[in-house]
């Protein structure tokens, strides 16, 4: 464990109080720490629960579509549920009275980069097409479905002039209904007896080279997020700098939460990230150093006390 240091103006070095703890998973369960110091924690991904998909439901219908001789019909689908699965199914349109189709279709589903995700010949009614197997929803939630005739299945140029007609196309999806939950996904501490009115500095420090990408948040005693940071520390670790001008509250109490990077820009400023973190995919050990800045301590009449700073390299 690395310890924070309080540096006296006379040159002597005094190790800050060091408190090792296994923090709780919520604001109310935070481990108490008295005064300035360094704590150690860890994030892990043990006990992962796989995502659960809900039952299949109708997402969108393209009704009364008509494939003309020598053409290819393309149907664009947007806002598919990311993380879920989807498929496309043709059926005889109600406008035709539901009679059996007399033409032979071919279907393919693609993502927005035109990569083919799945195809089908005649798994639908009569010789119409229906993907029996679902495919994963692309990361951008976009896809398209192309319908052509059977004789055009290899080229999709619309060359088939024998198989054409009217159809309905249903887009069906299964969404994630249970998100992934992980073991220790956020570490919490409650620091009290901090010097009220001092400017705060707090840094996440890699411990043993096992943790590299963090989010850090500070909350007041009422549970309100007062500041958060993603990458202002060393590498992709997190730091609250003196230049952020975060003043320690009058009651001298701050809660700190450390979690891993979520992959969403700006997510570190959302308190829900820390109170209900469910996308943690990083593990590792770290130290959290909490100190006020030298200038603010001097203003509080603590003499020439100086405190080491950690800034981005």
Which positions ≥6 away from 138 have C-beta within 8 Å?
A: 80, 82, 111, 112, 117
Note whether 103 and 93 are within 8 A (CB): no
Do 131 and 85 lie in a common domain? yes
Q: Please report whether residue 277 resides in a domain.
A: yes
312 occurs within a structural domain? no
* Phi, psi (rounded to 5 degrees) for 169: -120, 120
Residue 154: partners with Cβ closer than 8 Å, 6 or more residues away: none
Tokens 């935070």 -> residue: 30
Domain with residue 19: its CATH number is 2.60.120.380
User: Which domain range does residue 158 map to?
Assistant: 52-178
16 and 127 within one domain: no
Residue 1 tokens read as: 């464990």
Mark whether 219 and 294 lie in a shared domain: yes
User: Both 20 and 88 in a single domain?
Assistant: no
Q: Are residues 114 and 25 in the same domain?
A: no
Sign of CA dihedral 272, 288, 192, 294: negative
Which of 178, 199, 223 corresponds to the end of one domain? 178
Q: Tell me how far apart the alpha carbons of residues 23 and 192 are, in angstroms, rounded to a whole number.
A: 15
* Percentage of the chain lying above the pLDDT 90 cut: 55
* Number of domains composing the chain: 2
Q: Are residues 202 and 277 in the same domain?
A: yes
44/185 same-domain check? yes
Query: What digits encode the pLDDT tens for the residues 16-68?
Result: 222 222 333 456 678 899 889 999 988 876 665 666 889 999 999 999 999 99
- Cα dihedral 146, 147, 151, 153 in deg (nearest 10): 30
Report the number of secondary-structure helices (H) and strands (E) in the chain. Answer: 2, 23
Report DSSP state, residue 236: B
Residue 76 forms beta bridges with which residues?
144
In angstroms, what CA-CA distances link 13 with 3, 7, 290? 12, 5, 17
Name the pTM for this structure: 0.49
Query: Among the three residues 178, 209, 227, which one is the final residue of a domain in this structure?
Result: 178
| Residue 159 and residue 62 share a domain | yes
Same domain, 234 and 195: yes
Segment 221-237, tens digit of pLDDT: 988 999 999 999 988 89
Does some domain include residue 172? Answer: yes
The residue among 153, 119, 154, 156 whose CA lies nearest residue 135 is 119
Please give the backbone phi and psi of residue 236, each rounded to the nearest 5 degrees, phi first.
-110, 20
- Residue 224 shares a structural domain with residue 272: yes
Domain assignment present for residue 313? The answer is no
Q: Does the residue 236 lie in any domain?
A: yes
pLDDT tens track for 83-126: 899 999 999 887 666 666 789 999 999 999 999 999 999 999 99
Which of 178, 211, 228 is the endpoint of a domain? Answer: 178
- Say whether both 28 and 57 belong to one domain: no
Q: What is the DSSP letter of 199?
A: B
Are residues 102 and 193 part of one domain? no
Whether pLDDT at 11 is above 70? no
| 31 three-state secondary structure | strand
Q: How far apart are CA 129 and CA 105, in angstroms?
A: 6
């Amino acid at each position: 464990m690395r310890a924070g240091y309080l540096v006296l103006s006379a040159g002597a070095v005094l190790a800050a109080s060091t408190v090792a703890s296994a923090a709780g998973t919520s604001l109310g369960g935070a481990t108490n720490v008295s005064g300035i110091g360094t704590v150690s924690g860890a994030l892990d991904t043990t006990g992962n629960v796989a995502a659960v998909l809900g039952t299949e439901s109708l997402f969108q219908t393209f009704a009364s579509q008509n494939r003309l001789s020598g053409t290819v019909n393309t149907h664009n689908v947007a806002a598919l549920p990311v993380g879920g699965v989807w498929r496309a199914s043709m059926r005889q349109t109600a406008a035709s009275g539901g009679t059996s189709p007399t033409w032979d279709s071919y279907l393919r589903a693609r993502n927005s980069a035109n990569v083919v995700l799945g195809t089908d010949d005649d798994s639908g009614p009569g010789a119409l097409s229906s993907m029996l197997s679902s495919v994963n929803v692309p990361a951008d939630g976009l896809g398209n479905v192309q319908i052509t005739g059977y004789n055009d299945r290899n080229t999709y140029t619309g060359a088939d002039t024998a198989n054409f007609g009217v159809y309905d196309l249903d887009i069906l999806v299964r969404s994630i209904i249970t998100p992934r939950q992980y073991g220790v996904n956020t570490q919490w501490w409650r620091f009290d007896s901090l010097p009220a009115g001092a400017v705060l500095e707090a840094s996440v420090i890699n411990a043993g080279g096992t943790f590299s990408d963090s989010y850090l948040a500070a909350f007041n005693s009422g549970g309100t997020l007062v500041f958060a940071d993603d990458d202002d520390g060393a590498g992709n670790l997190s730091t609250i700098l003196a230049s952020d001008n975060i003043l320690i509250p009058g009651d001298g109490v701050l809660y700190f939460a450390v979690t891993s990077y979520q992959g969403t820009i700006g997510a570190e400023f959302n308190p829900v990230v820390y109170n209900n973190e469910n996308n943690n995919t990083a593990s590792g050990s770290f130290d959290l150093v909490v100190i006020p800045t030298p200038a603010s301590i001097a203003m509080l009449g603590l003499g020439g006390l100086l405190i080491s700073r950690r800034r981005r390299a």
